[in-house]
Structure formats: structure tokens, C-alpha cells
């Protein structure tokens, strides 16, 4: 059966049917992303101080991925133009380039950016006194901890410097990486367990999405998903994140310097050459420990929803583009070049929409 | 009735390819500008300034993509597309307005909840008095 107006324009609309279809689809996509964006606005405007952790996003990665998507948007137009000029080889070249750029975007997102967040932790403390114990450690921030903490706080949560007094010291998080932990044997002695990189990659750690919440103590159901309770952890070696916290003044006498022995590492955050020594933090000092997983806060729940939904669109686009490179697509092109060219045009329209969404996601998630 | 896409091969070979490179350059320049300004002036810029700058650049980039990469500059003449888009944009603006508009009167973190204080009660309590509202005191 011949489907009409696949390669020629319909007299009443002036367009081939696929083009009408893709614009209707894009309209529904605008509504979908519009709902998510308006949810973002609502949650951000109503967020309590100390929730919207925009200052920790890696702007370099965000900018790199933006440039990749822009490049893919240009190459997909060039692929379509090649078909308009009846140049199959040119089409293949630009289409493959588009798939490579799109795949690179997902590789950066799913193998670096997200895992680095699942191995990056925030700790909040049981009381202001316990927080002072940790922050004022002579090998960490020392006596003038408040000034340094304030600087980090403003960069991370409070660009306009209005909210410092609204959040207790105990709720001002210390962020970093778990490089070891301690358990207690039956005879009362402690055992140290180093936690290292996974797969030999500095941004992957064996401490992936660990959790502790003091409210889980004594609970049966909560304890199952609580890493501290499950492993019997009594303390951790915690390395404050590079680029966020100032370098220590001198080496820590007691803590295991696992991170330093491994030569230090670059993490999700700005790259700084200064190495941190790990701090020993007792479970009794911690109120909550969470990686930057969706359950961490409203900010990260929103971040994963927005970037995850967008990444699924990128993934879907890659599948369609790969299909258009298969021999079966070549046969369609040879049978009806105009029809195939139209297919590539509507794929391109979808792809530009994916690019458009990212154009707005970049500033609202990484820069603001 | 206009028909879709009737440019000549010469147009695609020459001017249109140039347009693609120019739009690509605008997009790259916009990305670098928003990144650089935020990176260098992060501490000097207020949130509002960063918001206007970041979203301003994003709007310029989005316009370039929509007009040239998505061919809307040429396709806007088709009512099927323009009406679909216009109604979608109206819907989008309405949805955003509902969200943002609902926030105008809502109680922000750290603010006093005066939801259940009405008329004179509200006026009396806050005339020259910035202390937190207590409904039981105004009876």
C-alpha cells in the first residue's frame, strides 16, 4: 500500500506528512519539558537555604558537553544538505560524525559526570559542637574555620551572601570522598579498610552511593539500605574535595593517608593540584552522609530528572541515527531519495530540539 | 499555497552551508561567553545579573537554532507549523506563569506566614512593626 505524501507535499498543508507529524511531536515535547522546567522554577524558588547546591557543578564538563551537542547539531544539518545534493558518501560522513558527538555526550554524562557524583559525599553533623570539632581540626581549617567555611558556603549555595545565618553550623555540609573506613572487632579493637578507585579511574570509587542517616539507628527497614549499619562502620577517612576546600597547612599525624599515597586524584570539581589529607570522622559526629544521588536533596533530584530525561532523548536519537546508517536505509534511499532525505530532515528537527533543551539546561544547572 | 523546501542545489552548496558555519560559530561563541563570564566574574555577579546574562545568551542561541537549523525562517509561512508552534508557546507561557505566579504570594523560607490574617488584622500588625505575626495577639 502506498502511503501518500511521504516524499511530496500535501496540497492543503504544503508539507509532507512526516514534517507535520514531527512538529506536532515537538509541540508535545515542549509541553513535557515545559512542565519539568516549571517544576524546576517552583522547587528552586521555594527551596530552603542550603538546599540548592549549584556551586558544586563542574562547569568545564557542562561547557564541553554543550559544545559537543552544538557540533552534532551542525553536522546533522550537513548530513541532510549532503542528501539534498545527492551525495550519499557526504551524508554518511556527517551522520557518523553526529553519532560520534552524540555518543561522546552520553559517555561523558553516564561514565564520568554521574558516577563522579555518586562517589562524592556531603556530611552534616549531629550538633554545632560536633561540626566545630571537624571544621576546626588543626589539619583541616583550623581556628579561623568560620571564614573559610563561609567562603565555601557562599560559592556553593548562596551567591548573594544572604543566607549564612539562616542555617545552623551542623547543617552546613562538608563535601569530599570516602577513602577508608573503620569497623570494630568483637575484642574492641579497630580494623581499617582502605577504599580505593574502581576500574583504575580516579573519578570512580568503590564507595559508590553509600548512605548513613542517624535516624536509621535502631530501625529494621532503614538499616538494610544504610551502609554504616550494614557494614558496622564506626568511623570514616574522609578526604575534603579538591578545589572546594583550602589545602591543609600540614600533614595529619594520625589519619591514614591513602589518598595521598595513591598520588591524589582529580574529582568532580575544579582541578587543583593541592592534595588533601583525609580526616577521621566518627559516626557519632555524623547526622547524615549522602552521595550526590537523587535522594540527596531536591536539587539533585531535579538535576537527575532534567539531565536524565534529556539523556534518554539523546539515546533515542542515536538509535534512530544508527538505523539510518544501516544497509536497509541505503535501500530506501536508492528506491526513493526524496523520501529518505525527508526522514533525515525530521530526525534533524528532533535532534535540534534535543540541542535546544540542553542550551537552556546548561545555564540553569551549571551556571546559575 | 507555498510548497516546502524548494531551494536550488546551488543554494545548498553555497549560501546555506555558509549559514550553517555562521550559526555554529554563534552557538560556540555564546557558550564560551556564558561560561567565561560566569567563571571569571562568578563572585562579582549577583544571582539576578547571572540569570539575565545566562538566559539572555541561551535565548540568542536558541533563536539561531530554531530559525536556521530547524528552518523555521523558511517554514514559518506554513500555517500547520506556525499555528502549532504559537499554541504551544502560549501553553508554555501559561504553564510557566501559573508556576511563577503562584510563587508571588507564597510564603518563602524565613518569611512570616500571614495567610490567615485578613484586612485590618494584617494592617494593624504590620504598621511600623516588623515583628513576626501572631494571630492570637491581634484578637
pLDDT digits (tens, 9 = 90+) for A262-271: 333 334 443 4
- Same-domain check for residues A37 and A57: yes
- HEC profile of A246-300: CCCCCCCCCCCCHHHHCCCCCCCCCCCCCCCCCEEEEHHHEEEEEECCHHHCHHH
How far is CA A82 from each of CA A77, A96, A323, A345, rounded to the nearest angstrom? 9, 13, 18, 11
Report yes or no on A9 lying in a domain. Answer: no
Residue A261: is its pLDDT beyond 50?
Answer: no
Q: Are A363 and B58 in contact (CB < 8 Å)?
A: yes
What is the Cβ-side half-sphere exposure of residue B79, based on CA atoms within 13 angstroms?
Answer: 5
Grid coordinates given for A87: 551525495
A182 and A100 in one domain? no
Q: Does A251 score more than 90 pLDDT?
A: no
Domain ranges of chain B: 7-81
Cut 0.80: pTM above it: yes
Residues paired with residue A130 on neighbouring β-strands, in sequence order: none
Residue A6 lies in a domain: no
Contacts of B83 by beta carbon, 8 Å cutoff, 6+ apart: none
Q: What is the pLDDT of residue A201?
A: 87
- Whether A166 sits inside 8 A of B103 (CB atoms) is no
Does A238 map to a domain? yes
Select the residue from B23, B31, B91 to test the A interface by mutation, using most A Cβ atoms within 10 A. B31
Q: Enter the C-alpha cell of residue A101.
A: 558527538
Contact A42 B12 (CB under 8 A): no
A173 in any annotated domain: yes
Question: Above 50 in pLDDT, residue A361?
Answer: yes
User: Domain range spanning residue A158?
Assistant: 125-287
Asked if residue A140 and residue A71 are part of one domain, the reply reads no
- What percentage of chain A has pLDDT greater than the value 70? 91
pLDDT in tens, A273-304: 444 578 999 999 999 999 999 999 999 999 99
Asked if residue A4 is part of any domain, the answer here is: no
Q: What is the mean pLDDT of residues A51-59?
A: 82
Q: In residues, how long is chain A?
A: 368
A219 and A98 co-located in one domain: no
Residues A129 and A231 occupy one common structural domain:
yes
Give residue-wise pLDDT tens across range A309-335: 999 999 999 999 999 999 999 999 999
Determine which helix (DSSP H) or strand (DSSP E) holds B60, and give its type and residue range: helix B47-64
Let me know whether A322 and A224 are in one domain. Answer: no
| Per-residue pLDDT at A256 | 32
Q: Is residue A38 part of a domain?
A: yes
Shared-domain flag, residues A92 and A168: no
Query: Within a domain: residue A10?
Result: no
Q: What are phi and psi of A279, to 5 degrees?
A: -105, 140
pLDDT band at A190 (very low <50, low <70, confident <90, very high): very high
Handedness of CA A296, A297, A301, A307 (dihedral sign): negative
Same domain, A177 and A320: no
For B50-92, write each residue's pLDDT tens digit: 888 889 999 999 999 999 999 888 888 888 889 998 998 898 8
Question: Total domain count for chain A?
Answer: 2
Q: Which helix (H) or strand (E) element contains residue A329?
A: helix A327-335
Q: CA A329, A330, A331, A332 torsion: positive or negative?
A: positive
* Cβ within 8 Å, pair B58-A360: yes
A244, A263, A287: which is the final residue of a domain?
A: A287
Same domain membership, residue A278 and residue A175: yes
* Option in A67, A85, A364 nearest B13 (CB): A85
Polymer length of chain B: 139
Confidence of residue A272 (pLDDT cuts 50, 70, 90): very low
Distance from CA of A142 to the nearest CA of B (A): 24
Paired strand residues for A256: none
Per-residue pLDDT of B91-112, as tens digits, reads: 888 877 877 777 666 666 666 7
Give the residue with greater pLDDT, A157 vs A270.
A157
- Percent with pLDDT over 90 in chain A: 60
Asked whether the beta carbons of residue B110 and residue A49 sit closer than 8 angstroms, the reply is yes
CATH number, domain containing residue A85: 1.20.120.80
Residues of B in contact with A349 (CB under 8 A): 70
Last residue of a domain, one of A240, A261, A287: A287
Flag whether pLDDT at A165 surpasses 50: yes
Average pLDDT over residues A99-125: 95
ipTM of the complex: 0.81
Q: Are residues A243 and A130 in the same domain?
A: yes
Amino acid at each position: 500500500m502506498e502511503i501518500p505524501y511521504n516524499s511530496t507535499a500535501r496540497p492543503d498543508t504544503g508539507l509532507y506528512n512526516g514534517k507535520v507529524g514531527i512538529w506536532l511531536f515537538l509541540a508535545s515535547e515542549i509541553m513535557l519539558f515545559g512542565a519539568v522546567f516549571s517544576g524546576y522554577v517552583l522547587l528552586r524558588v521555594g527551596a530552603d537555604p542550603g538546599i540548592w547546591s549549584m556551586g558544586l557543578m563542574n562547569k568545564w564538563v557542562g561547557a564541553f558537553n554543550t559544545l559537543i551537542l552544538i557540533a552534532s547539531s551542525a553536522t546533522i544539518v550537513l548530513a541532510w544538505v549532503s542528501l539534498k545534493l545527492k551525495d550519499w558518501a557526504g551524508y554518511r560522513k556527517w551522520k557518523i560524525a553526529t553519532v560520534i558527538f552524540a555518543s561522546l555526550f552520553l559517555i561523558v554524562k553516564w561514565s564520568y559526570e554521574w558516577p563522579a557524583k555518586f562517589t562524592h559525599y556531603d556530611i552534616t553533623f549531629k550538633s554545632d559542637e560536633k561540626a566545630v570539632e571537624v571544621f576546626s581540626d588543626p589539619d583541616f581549617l583550623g581556628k579561623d574555620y568560620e571564614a573559610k567555611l563561609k567562603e565555601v558556603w557562599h560559592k556553593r549555595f548562596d551567591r548573594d551572601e544572604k543566607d549564612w545565618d539562616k542555617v545552623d553550623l551542623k547543617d552546613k555540609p562538608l563535601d569530599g570522598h570516602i577513602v577508608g573506613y573503620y569497623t570494630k572487632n568483637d575484642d574492641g579493637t579497630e580494623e581499617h579498610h582502605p577504599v580505593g578507585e574502581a576500574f583504575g579511574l580516579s573519578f570512580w570509587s568503590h564507595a559508590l552511593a553509600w548512605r548513613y542517616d542517624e535516624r536509621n539507628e535502631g530501625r529494621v527497614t532503614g538499616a538494610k539500605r544504610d551502609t554504616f549499619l550494614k557494614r558496622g562502620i564506626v568511623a570514616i577517612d574522609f578526604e575534603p574535595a579538591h578545589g572546594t576546600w583550602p589545602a591543609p597547612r600540614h600533614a595529619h599525624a594520625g589519619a591514614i593517608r591513602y589518598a595521598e599515597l595513591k598520588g591524589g586524584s582529580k574529582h568532580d570539581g575544579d582541578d587543583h593540584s593541592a592534595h588533601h589529607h583525609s580526616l577521621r570522622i566518627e559516626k557519632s559526629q555524623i547526622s547524615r552522609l549522602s552521595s550526590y544521588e537523587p535522594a540527596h536533596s531536591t536539587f539533585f533530584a531535579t538535576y537527575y530528572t532534567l539531565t536524565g530525561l534529556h539523556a534518554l532523548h539523546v539515546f533515542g536519537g542515536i538509535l534512530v541515527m544508527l538505523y539510518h546508517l544501516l544497509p536497509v536505509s541505503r535501500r530506501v534511499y536508492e528506491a526513493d531519495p526524496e523520501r529518505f532525505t525527508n526522514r533525515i530532515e525530521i530526525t534533524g528537527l528532533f535532534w535540534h530540539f534535543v540541542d535546544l533543551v540542553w542550551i537552556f539546561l546548561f545555564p540553569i544547572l551549571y551556571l546559575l | 499555497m507555498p510548497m516546502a523546501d524548494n531551494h536550488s542545489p546551488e543554494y545548498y552548496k553555497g549560501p546555506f552551508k555558509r549559514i550553517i558555519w555562521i550559526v555554529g560559530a554563534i552557538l560556540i561563541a555564546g557558550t564560551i561567553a556564558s561560561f567565561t563570564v560566569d567563571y571569571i566574574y562568578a563572585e562579582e555577579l549577583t544571582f539576578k545579573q547571572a540569570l539575565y546574562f545566562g538566559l539572555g545568551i541561551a535565548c540568542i542561541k536558541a533563536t539561531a537554532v530554531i530559525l536556521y537549523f530547524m528552518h523555521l525562517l523558511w517554514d514559518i509561512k506554513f500555517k500547520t507549523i506556525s499555528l502549532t508552534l504559537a499554541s504551544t508557546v502560549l501553553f508554555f507561557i501559561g504553564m510557566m506563569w501559573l508556576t511563577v505566579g503562584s510563587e508571588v504570594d507564597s510564603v518563602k523560607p524565613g518569611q512570616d506566614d500571614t495567610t490567615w490574617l485578613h484586612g485590618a488584622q494584617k494592617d494593624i500588625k504590620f504598621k511600623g512593626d516588623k515583628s513576626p505575626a501572631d494571630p492570637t495577639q491581634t484578637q
